Structure 1
Amino acid sequence: MFKIVGKYKSVILFILTFLGVYVVLSLLYGFYLSRSASSSYYPDYITHQVAVQSAWLVDLLGYATQLAPHPEEASMVLGVENVYVARVVEGCNAMSVIILFVAFVMAFFQGWQRTILFTLGGVILIYVVNVLRIALLSIGLYRFPEAQNLLHDIVFPAIIYGQVVLLWLLWVRNFKKQAG
């Protein structure tokens, strides 16, 4: 049995590291969410900032935006040119994607400096692309409301998850160079 475990040591270490980091970060994020309910930033600080920054970007792109707390649920209502187009909910803030990204990168640990720098750069890139994604989705929903399902359910998830997969591939490629 120990011979089998030794043979798959790197795979087992990857899985345990990934799951460990993922569980710890998810628990910390859950704790953050449970503590942010009384915050002055609605529905929570991160989601609020993503909504504000997305609205700012839509404004920058030449469209008048309206942003307000949703009266009945934990989200921000985003309007473009006085047309309600989106609700920015906690799931829109990319934190679950960031946690997944960080867990994967940590599972292919390459020393503290390399890992932290790549993780920090990746988290910033994911956050920025997510704000851009929400802004473009809002404009797209305003201009092409009939394409809501295509834009929201296919195109824009593909952007955020595609970006994460590309970052992972870059990290693994560099990991293989370092290990080889």
Structure 2
Amino acid sequence: MKKYLALYKPFLLFLGTFFLTYALLAFLYQLFLDGFEKGKVDSITRLVAQNTETVLSWFHKSVFIKEDSKEPFFTLYYQQKGLVRIVEGCNGVSLIILFISFIAAFSGSLKNTLLFIFGGSLLIYVLNVVRIAILIILIYYFPGKTHLLHGVLFPLVIYGLVFILWIVWVNKFSKYAK
């Protein structure tokens, strides 16, 4: 048994660090969400909705968000038409937690790890806002393609970015990069 533990130590350390980091960050995020009144939108989702509204307003002035009075979501209106609901799952935090957990599990120097986590998280956040904005425009012009756009194409884009960031991290900055 000791032989196998020694043989698979790097893999077991990776798994342990990944799951511990993921569990801790998910727990902290849930505590954050629990701090909001039932039926109210959390501040991160609010920021994502506001930023999406701002990005869309650069291209068209007839854009606004409206918070639902009973449920925790925003409806985003584009060209006077309520097109999408922005809910907690749209804010990208769960994906950022996944990203951070992987980077921590394949950590490099403390400075590089923290900088990559910060830069990667910011990039994921910005791309997520732009992704939602583009999705809204495409849904407006192609309402029959909503499932393809929201359920297939755009998750592919955001998860693809995270995968590319992971590859860059492992090959350039992690302690395994050599």
TM-score, structure 1 as length reference: 0.94
Deviation string 1:77-135 (CA, Å, 9 cap, x unpaired) is 10101111100000000000000000000000102101000110000000000000001
Deviation string 1:21-70 (CA, Å, 9 cap, x unpaired) is 0000000000000002379xx40000000001001111112251121112
Task: Report the Cα distance in structure 1 between the residues aligned to 2:60 and 2:8, rounded to whole angstroms.
Answer: 55
* Aligned twin of 1:126: 124
Determine helix, strand or coil for the equivalent of 2:36. helix
Task: Report the Cα distance in structure 2 between the residues aligned to 1:47 and 1:73, rounded to whole angstroms.
Answer: 13
* Aligned twin of 1:8: 8
Higher helix share: 1
Between 162-171 and 54-63, the greater mean CA deviation after superposition? 54-63
Between 126-135 and 138-147, the greater mean CA deviation after superposition? 138-147
Task: Report the Cα distance in structure 2 between the residues aligned to 1:118 and 1:175, rounded to whole angstroms.
Answer: 9
Structure 1 outlier segments of 4+, above 4 Å: 175-179
Say how many residue pairs are matched.
Answer: 178
* Aligned twin of 1:146: 144
* Aligned twin of 1:88: 86
* Aligned twin of 2:103: 105
Letter in 2 for 1:99: I
Task: Report the Cα distance in structure 1 between the residues aligned to 2:174 and 2:46, rounded to whole angstroms.
Answer: 39
Letter in 2 for 1:137: L
Q: How does 1:34-73 map to 2 (within 5 A)?
A: 34-37=34-37, 42-73=40-71
Q: Structure 2: which 5+ residue stretches go unaligned? A: none
Structure 1 residues 179 and 157: alpha-carbon distance in aligned structure 2, compared to 1, 3 A threshold: closer
Deviation string 1:6-26 (CA, Å, 9 cap, x unpaired) is 000000000000000000000
Letter in 2 for 1:174: K
CA RMSD of aligned residues (A): 1.6
- Identity of matched residues, %: 39
Determine helix, strand or coil for the equivalent of 1:58. helix
Task: Report the Cα distance in structure 2 between the residues aligned to 1:98 and 1:114, rounded to whole angstroms.
Answer: 17
| Contact 2:109/2:174, CA 8 A, preserved across alignment | no
TM-score, structure 2 as length reference: 0.95
Determine helix, strand or coil for the equivalent of 1:157. helix
Task: Report the Cα distance in structure 2 between the residues aligned to 1:73 and 1:156, rounded to whole angstroms.
Answer: 25
